[in-house]
Amino acid sequence: MFFRSFELIFSYLEEIDHIFNKNPDGLEREELVNKLLSLRNIMDHCIKYWLSFEERINEMQQKYAFSLPDVLPDDFWDDLEISRVSSDPEIEADTGNLFLKLKSEQGINSFRRGLGFWDLAMLEEAIREFEKVVELEPNFIFGHFSLGIAYSQKGIHEQAMAKLRLVKELSSDPHLNAFVHNTMGNIYVDEKNYQQAMEEFLKAAEEDPLFHIAYFNMGAIFFNRRQYKEAIEAFKKVLHFLPLDWEVCYYLGRAYTLSGNLGEGLKYFKKALSLNPADTKILFEMGVLYDLLGDKKSAAHCYNRIINKINQL
């Protein structure tokens, strides 16, 4: 019964994804978003119950002086979206052990707890658990990766870089390496070192050409540098992977508009609005464009819709 509940949740996700793919209207999209929020709330409660369960297990072990075997299920890693790539079978086998295998019960327990805290955005607690993992299991690459990400999200850049560089040296997996370079790029962005950030995002895309996040980040840097032609090229690569992403359409609209191509700008703003009809900033951009194009009636319609939305708040 317990596992059936999760099967139902994921079947609902598949159903929602299927409906989204049909490009539903604004009201139906809003209903789908509300359903996703409800499902997320359910999963958040599951994480909290899991953490409470682990706390009780630890208390009972200490209270009654026993050690509960703590091993990951055999199929725990089956759905992990990271593959090991190597031309040398022996190296691949060794990398697999380094990447996936946790040997100590305490290491497994700390890794589980770290992931739980991470999901709850409790970064300090997650860092403490991941630090225990890499101390106990120094060859566990994913432990170093998780710790590096947590450090970066907490703003501890120097330690994050050290961990990410270590993972980069140890890993031959292109997907993982793409994540590493992308995270390093984000750190450089936080430090306003945009040239170095761009180099890391380029490396991420080279490692994994399907890693669309790197293209979006490159587009954002080009856009902020007013290199609109390059920004458009980058955002279009993202749109190839995510054709229903309203935010990508919005930034394409802005990039085309600022480059002087008002017609293309308006086209992408319209698409962004169809995907996210509740966003007033899209309406504002469209109103400005209609004004520039001399269509005062359409501009007034956009501004009136903004006023109506504000009055409804």
24-31 long-range contacts, Cβ below 8 Å, gap at least 24? Answer: 26/277, 26/278, 29/275, 29/276, 29/277, 30/278
Number of domains in the chain: 1
**Is residue 26, in this structure, part of any structural domain at all?**
no
Instruction: Give the model's confidence band at 248: pLDDT under 50 very low, under 70 low, under 90 confident, else very high.
Output: very high
Residue 223: half-sphere exposure toward Cβ, Cα within 13 Å: 22
**Is residue 296, in this structure, part of any structural domain at all?**
yes
**Is residue 305, in this structure, part of any structural domain at all?**
yes
DSSP 66: -
Question: For position 302, what pLDDT does the model report?
Answer: 92
pLDDT digits (tens, 9 = 90+) for 13-60: 888 888 888 888 888 888 888 888 777 777 766 666 666 676 677 778
Q: Please, are residues 167 and 141 in contact by the beta-carbon 8 Å criterion? A: yes
Domain limits at 234? Answer: 219-313
pLDDT digits (tens, 9 = 90+) for 149-192: 999 999 999 999 999 999 998 888 888 899 999 999 999 999 99
Euclidean distance between CA atoms 120 and 203, whole angstroms:
30
Question: For position 74, what pLDDT does the model report?
Answer: 54
Q: Please, are residues 88 and 107 in contact by the beta-carbon 8 Å criterion? A: no
* One-letter amino acid for residue 50 of the chain: W
**Is residue 229, in this structure, part of any structural domain at all?**
yes
**Is residue 179, in this structure, part of any structural domain at all?**
no
**Interior CA angle at 295 toward 294 and 297, to 5°?**
140
**Residue 313 belongs to domain with CATH number:** 1.25.40.10
User: Terminus-to-terminus CA distance in the chain, angstroms?
Assistant: 42
In three-state secondary structure terms, 296 is helix
**Is residue 265, in this structure, part of any structural domain at all?**
yes
pLDDT digits (tens, 9 = 90+) for 52-111: 676 677 778 777 777 665 555 555 545 444 333 333 333 333 334 434 567 778 888 888
Mean pLDDT over the full length of the chain:
83
**Is residue 252, in this structure, part of any structural domain at all?**
yes
**Is residue 127, in this structure, part of any structural domain at all?**
no
Q: How far is CA 280 from CA 26, 75, 250, in A?
A: 14, 46, 12
